Amino acid sequence: MSVNRRFVLKGAAVSSIGLTVDGFIPALAANFEAPIGDEATEPTMLALVNEGEAESMFLYGAMAAGKATLRVQKVGRDLGFMLDFERRLRHGLPMRVIGLLDDASATLIVDMARSGGARVQWLGQHTAEDGFTRHHVLSTDMSEGCAQQLSRQLHDCGAGFKLIEERQNGPMAPRQLIGLSRGASQSVQWASSIGYLLASIGTRTTLAAPLAPAANTPITGSFVSFSIDV
């Protein structure tokens, strides 16, 4: 299995979406910075998100990891960010890009990164329903163990889930992990745990992500997570 459009997006039109750096997630406004490529404030890690409850939980976990300077950029519907991101890919300065986005936005980011020679270390498709989540993860040697840690954290908090992990260009057969819901209210823990684990890739952390705060409303929908080394 390869990292490609079919895995991330089924039938979305690329021309239907653009990207922007406008706006803030209010609780995380202090982490929004200047456009990518500003050498004076060049971040070592960039988090790309849409605006929503799942994305806020993703950032909650990523910021808790505290492993590197984290900057946050919001994905919207303007070409400004896309052009800036493409320029950053050509610039050649090292940076890790992590994120949790809708399918269409993630497809653009992953395609641009691959075309620019960046290395995709993790790619995950996530479907959240009330009380249950499904995760299909494509991992590499660099992100080895992250899927297992995710499953352990979801199991520990009592969340119902199904997780399938495949190894990119590797001999490992697909691995499937299932956890039954134990009536817990931590339906948003998956997003926080993924943020924490992706921000910690390369550090071999064995610590669990912090328990996510309760969401105001159940998180449902389809999301894509990724970790890209530029």
pLDDT at 12 over 50: no
User: Residue holding tokens 């684990």?
Assistant: 197
Classify strands 70-74 and 45-49 as parallel, antiparallel or unpaired.
Answer: parallel
Helices 189-199, 146-156: inter-axial angle, 10-degree rounding: 150
| Top-confidence residue, 222 or 216 | 222
Cite the DSSP H helix spans in 3-159.
5-8, 53-65, 79-91, 103-115, 146-156
Average pLDDT, the chain: 76
pLDDT at 47 over 80: yes
Strands (E) in the chain, as ranges, are 45-49, 70-74, 96-101, 119-129, 132-139, 160-167, 175-179, 221-229
pLDDT in tens, 102-147: 999 999 999 999 988 899 999 999 999 877 899 999 988 888 778 8
Nearest Cα to 47, choosing from 140, 57, 92, 5? 57
Structure-block tokens of residue 71: 């900057």
| Top-confidence residue, 223 or 211 | 223
pLDDT at 101 over 90: yes
Residue type, 122: W
30 — pLDDT class (breaks 50, 70, 90): very low
